[in-house]
Amino acid sequence: MRAVLVLNGPNLGRLGSREPDVYGAHSFEDLVVLCEEAGRGLGLAVEVRQTDDEAEMVKWIHEAADRRTPVVLNPAAFTHYSYALRDAIAQRTAPLVEVHISNPNAREEFRHTSVVAAVATGTIAGFGFQSYVLALRAIAEGES
């Protein structure tokens, strides 16, 4: 099975209690189970991680690049300002799909700009947790 990293940025570990009107009532643990099960169904070995630390996220992106591992990335707040993350993603050696649970373009204006989108393979946003499933499917289908 092809390994895939599903990486999540700041505050996503608080899913279920964090703004449920925006992010839904399901927990981060629910997201982990969904991604692992969806991955298995697509022939992917999915590892889900979450960090509130920008440096750790950059390290994980470097790890993925070194191993040629595809990534599903929800950069969360890093989306809008992390040029360090953007530059790490630019070094990718496998597909990287940016995902968002909500639709950033339907929210506050500061969320309308993604500094990472231009170096991602693609972006999927606004479909709740299904954004991750769609991204995993895109990676799996791109491998065939």
Neighbours of 118 (CB within 10 A): 10
Residue 111 assigned to a binding site: yes
> Annotated catalytic residue: which of 23, 62, 112, 132?
23
Q: Find out whether 53 is annotated in a ligand binding site.
A: no
Q: Is 74 annotated as a binding residue?
A: yes
| Residue among 4, 35, 56, 5 at smallest CA distance from 101 | 35
Of 26, 62, 100, 132, the catalytic one is 100
Residue 19 in 3-state DSSP?
A: coil
Q: Distances in Å between the alpha carbon of 71 and those of 10, 33, 86, 132?
A: 17, 17, 14, 11
66 annotated as belonging to a binding site for a ligand: no
Residue 102, marked binder: yes
**Residue 100 known to be catalytic:** yes
The owner of tokens 């570990």 is 13
Question: Residue 83 catalytic?
Answer: no
14 known ligand binder? no
Q: Which residues are catalytic?
A: 23, 100
Which residues define the annotated binding site for substrate? 74, 80, 87, 101-102, 111
